[in-house]
Amino acid sequence: MRTVLTIAGSDSGAGAGIQADLKSIAANGAYGLTVLTSVTAQNTRAVTAAYSLPADLIEAQFAAVFSDFTPDAVKSGMLADRERVEVVAAAIRRYHPPHYVLDPVMVSKSGFPLLQQQAIEALRVDLLPLAEVVTPNIHEAQILAEMTIATLEDARIAATRILEQGPRAVVLKGGHLEERPGTDLLLYASGSRVYEGEFIETTDTHGTGCTFSAALATQLAHGRDLEDAVGIAKAYLTEAIRHAPGLGGGAGPTDHFFYLRERDAAAPWLATLGVIAEETE
């Protein structure tokens, strides 16, 4: 079984962060490993508190994982501040994972800052050059590229500016694109690809960036080439959004295991569990 390490914060509502990553990794067919960077108190409405874990504890988690496992891919999400960015960058350089997907998490859906302002420059300098692919949404790309993005051509210019900062590829997610919303752009040194997407009118988009980047890292771990991995991750996320369970009173989570509930797909397996339980009684 392939293994994928996620480096992220905890979401007590379990729609984003480390919880969403683990579900996305498992749903895409791999075993998830974790390095926790912070703990947040949040639900679908708001992030009410956040605590960054000590750097030495984060380093100890990396050492524990890499001393016993060999991750086929790594992704990072919420890193909170400069110190956490630098610790993660040092670990990526030390352990040299075969794939590293950087999700530059900056602000929660409710507007809570998840990356301090002074950490943005550290992310540019220390992490972007290490990334095989970085996956900003429109808001994050506008910060990294220092420009406004409204059209697909704007997205291409912004992705080019981000690519010049060191990553080998950029997936600029177009869920908030004014022109052709739902269209994503992949840009890398030797080419580009536009992924036309279905825009689903819904508020249930909590953790979509985490879910997408974790799915992308998992597909890369399976040996997919980048273009195919992006396409599969996008298709997976679209269906997870479509089948959102409607939980909470704010920006609700997606359904990471939607396919288990399609046409009672899980029923035969659950029935088998019932038989086992009867036999052991």
CB 97 within 8 A of CB 132: no
Q: Among residues 77, 173, 211, 218, which one is catalytic? A: 173
Selected catalytic residue, list 32, 77, 207, 252: 207
Catalytic residue at 40? no
Q: Which is catalytic among the residues 9, 40, 182, 210?
A: 210
Give the CA-trace dihedral at 110, 116, 122, 128, to 10 degrees.
Answer: 0
Q: Any catalytic annotation for residue 208?
A: yes
Among candidate residues 9, 17, 209, 252, the one labeled active-site is 209
- Among 205, 211, 218, 238, the active-site one is 205
Catalytic: which of 208, 211, 218, 238?
Answer: 208
CA atoms of 255 and 200, how far apart (whole Å): 14
Give the integer Cα–Cα distance in Å for 219 and 91: 22
To the query of whether residue 210 is one of the catalytic residues in this protein, the response is: yes
Burial category of 190 from C-beta neighbours within 10 Å (exposed 0-12, middle 13-18, buried 19 and up): exposed
173 is catalytic: yes
d(C-alpha 99, C-alpha 72), whole Å: 7
Are the C-beta atoms of residues 29 and 218 closer than 8 Å to each other?
yes
Return the active site residues.
173, 205, 207-210
